[in-house]
Structure 1
Amino acid sequence: MARASDAKTQTRIQREKKQIILEAALEVFSAHGYKGATLEQIANQSNLSKPNLLYYFDSKEGIFQRLIEELLVSWLDPLRKFSATGNPVEEICAYVQRKLEMARDYPRESRLFATEIIQGAKHIHPQLAGPLKQLVDDKAEIIEYWAHSGAINPVDPYHLLFSIWSTTQHYADFSSQVNAILGHNAPNWFVDASAHLDRMFRAMLTPPTKA
């Protein structure tokens, strides 16, 4: 059977259908993870039949891999913007804010990524060990230079990045917990979290002579 992906040039309708499927798959995968998701669930969420879905993607893994590829592009973007030529404390705090904005604006993508990691990262290990590790190593080298030069307080660059990821992505990955605890204040979490995390990381990083 011919597939939409076989054509060198897809029509507008084919592109739109594939985006509908990817949007539906994001909803299903972020809720159930790769193992728990099924093609039937994705088809139902897409308002398509399973055979129609399989015209556009040949397998559940194919859909998932396409989602992960697109996710990693946006996921790494905030770290790519991290500049070695800027003010060290401001650069790191700006990165914290960009990661928090992603938790606010892309909670399903964050949960999809977290679920895949928890389940062993089978489908994204090459990306983690390749592009992500290289980018993190590059930025860790910058942070380490800043620490050794006294521009920021001594800090392990890798554990600093892990701390930023955990404190920002918490608001997406554990949104049910956040909402349950904050109650009627939950809609305002971003403003309060933004101020709190900025104070916390700024206080940790700023040398006494520059405070």
Structure 2
Amino acid sequence: MFAKHSCNCSKKIQEKSKIAAGIFGWFHFYLQDNQKYFCLFEKTTAPAQINKTGKFMRPQQYTKQKKNRAQNIENILTAAEIIFAQFGYNGASISRIAEEAGLPKSNVVYYFSTKELLYRTVVEDIFNVWRAAADEIVEDADPREALGSYIDTKMELARTRPYGSMVWANEIIQGAPIVQDYLETELRSWTEERVNVIHKWIAAGKIRPISPKHLLFTIWATTQHYADFKHQISTLNEGSDLNDAQWEETKQAVKELLLFGICH
């Protein structure tokens, strides 16, 4: 689910996209070519290269520990996404997540001191991946191409990360008890930016006058349906998951349904 990557991102991008802190540094995620990348980058302070006994590590020791740390975090986040999707926030436990990750409970607590911190990291990661999917929705873009690309990526994420969508849906259905502050800040800001772009497309005569918010709501509802109601879709597909050809047909059908009549 996660692809490890040596982080070459600029300091500005790192600061903007960082998610959680540990004694070793920050980690963040980004989406490129429909592949999710998982990056680690260290603090510049000397303690980042000191082991638990207080002794400085040799470069090869530090590199090995960095790789182990990245793998542990990757396993924890992948497991947490599954467990939170299956059991919800209240039903999930650090012990269950540790078992799913194949790690001792102490390892999970080492990187994420509380269940809430781990949960918020998972939810924020899901949103950041979805946000990156909309990078092409800018004023100078062709609306059909930009919205089509957004729908394609959202559909691909519904296929490859259904648990992430389920975690988000469960949180919202419960009234966002854990991440309401995130909705009121990050989600609101992101949505307003996309709404402004769509208004500019309308003013420029690129698309018909429609409600930008309802267009976004419809895209979210339709694309995430294929993750949140995966079992229902499989049942109606003769008990099988959609194959590659069916997914391509589905993406094309969704784009035609959502974009027909609004793009010239």
Query: Same fold per TM (> 0.5)?
Result: yes
The aligned residue for residue 227 of structure 2 is 172
Deviations 1:119-170 (CA, angstroms, capped at 9, x unpaired): 2212222222112211211111121232244321221000000000001110
Structure 1 residues 85, 167: CA separation in 2 closer, same or farther (over 3 Å shift)? same
Secondary structure of 2:134's counterpart equals: helix
Residue type at the aligned position of 1:5 = G
Residue type at the aligned position of 2:249 = D
Contact kept? 1:76, 1:132, Cα under 8 Å: no
The aligned residue for residue 81 of structure 1 is 136
Secondary structure of 2:178's counterpart equals: coil
Contact kept? 1:93, 1:201, Cα under 8 Å: no
Are 1:196 and 2:235 an aligned pair? no
Structure 1 residues 145, 35: CA separation in 2 closer, same or farther (over 3 Å shift)? same
Most deviating of 24-33 and 54-63: 54-63
Alignment of 1:5-44 (within 5 A): 5-7=22-24, 8-9=47-48, 11-12=65-66, 13-44=68-99
Are 1:69 and 2:124 an aligned pair? yes
Give the drift of 1:184: 5.3
Most deviating of 154-163 and 53-62: 53-62
Normalised TM-score (structure 1): 0.86
Distance 2:129 2:98 in 1: 25
Normalised TM-score (structure 2): 0.70
The aligned residue for residue 154 of structure 1 is 209
Distance 2:210 2:221 in 1: 17
Any stretches of 5+ residues in structure 2 without a counterpart? 1-20, 25-46, 50-64
| Structure with greater strand share of residues | 2
Most deviating of 141-150 and 126-135: 141-150
Residue type at the aligned position of 1:192 = E
Alignment of 1:112-131 (within 5 A): 112-131=167-186
Give the drift of 1:17: 2.1
User: Structure 1 vs Structure 2: percent identity of aligned residues?
Assistant: 31
Distance 1:78 1:15 in 2: 24
Contact kept? 2:139, 2:200, Cα under 8 Å: no
Distance 2:98 2:206 in 1: 53
Relative contact order, CA 8 A, sep 6+: which one is greater? 1
Distance 2:180 2:81 in 1: 19
Residue type at the aligned position of 2:133 = P
Distance 2:179 2:133 in 1: 19
Structure 1 residues 56, 94: CA separation in 2 closer, same or farther (over 3 Å shift)? closer
Distance 1:125 1:185 in 2: 36
Give the drift of 1:41: 1.0
The aligned residue for residue 111 of structure 2 is 56
Distance 1:149 1:179 in 2: 42
Structure 1 residues 55, 157: CA separation in 2 closer, same or farther (over 3 Å shift)? same
RMSD: 2.1
Any stretches of 5+ residues in structure 1 without a counterpart? none
| Structure with greater helix share of residues | 1
Give the drift of 1:22: 1.8
Distance 2:255 2:236 in 1: 22
